[in-house]
């Protein structure tokens, strides 16, 4: 079953602006990951945050995790046209294994 909902479904911003995407999930997690998918391509892993972490940074990416609210956010700062893609959150549950359960995705468009 679907784990996460992402918000917004679509986001259009100007180059240089920040983009924030939110993800909510339903069950207890081991970790939460964000992936990017360019149109017609496979998914690329961006960042992983564990359940005992609250914030993580990687370059222009900042991820937060609030396990009490079962939510995460991905912030892309100083966006570029090349950031145009779909962004998915995915969770790994506490039940063992390494099954990724994906959210619904946010389509980001960065315009020049």
Residue ranges in contact with another protein by CB under 8 A = 2, 30-31, 33, 35, 37, 40-45, 48, 86, 88, 90, 92, 97-102, 104-105
Shorter beta-carbon distance to another protein: residue 30 or 64: 30
Place of tokens 């990951």: 33
Q: Tell the smallest beta-carbon distance from residue 29 to another protein (Å).
A: 11
**What is the secondary structure of 79-96 as a DSSP string?**
--GGG-EEEEEEEEETTS
Shorter beta-carbon distance to another protein: residue 5 or 15: 5
Contact in structure between 43 and 87 (CB atoms under 8 Å): no
Shorter beta-carbon distance to another protein: residue 10 or 78: 10
Q: Tell the smallest beta-carbon distance from residue 48 to another protein (Å).
A: 6
Q: Tell the smallest beta-carbon distance from residue 11 to another protein (Å).
A: 15
What SS3 state is found at 43? Answer: strand
Shorter beta-carbon distance to another protein: residue 15 or 109: 109
Which residues, other chains included, contact 6 with Cβ-Cβ below 8 Å and sequence gap of 6+?
Answer: 21, 22, 23, 24, 87, 88, 89, 103, 104, 105, 106
């Amino acid at each position: 079953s679907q784990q996460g909902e992402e918000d917004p479904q679509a986001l259009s911003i100007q180059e240089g602006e920040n983009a924030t995407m939110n993800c909510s999930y339903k069950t207890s997690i081991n970790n939460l990951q964000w992936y990017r998918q360019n149109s017609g391509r496979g998914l690329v892993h961006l960042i992983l945050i564990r359940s005992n972490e609250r914030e993580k940074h990687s370059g222009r990416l900042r991820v937060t995790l609030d396990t009490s609210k079962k939510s995460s956010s991905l912030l892309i700062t100083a966006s570029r046209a090349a950031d145009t893609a779909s962004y998915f959150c995915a969770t790994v549950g506490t039940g063992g294994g390494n099954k990724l359960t994906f959210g619904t995705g946010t389509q980001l468009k960065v315009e020049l």
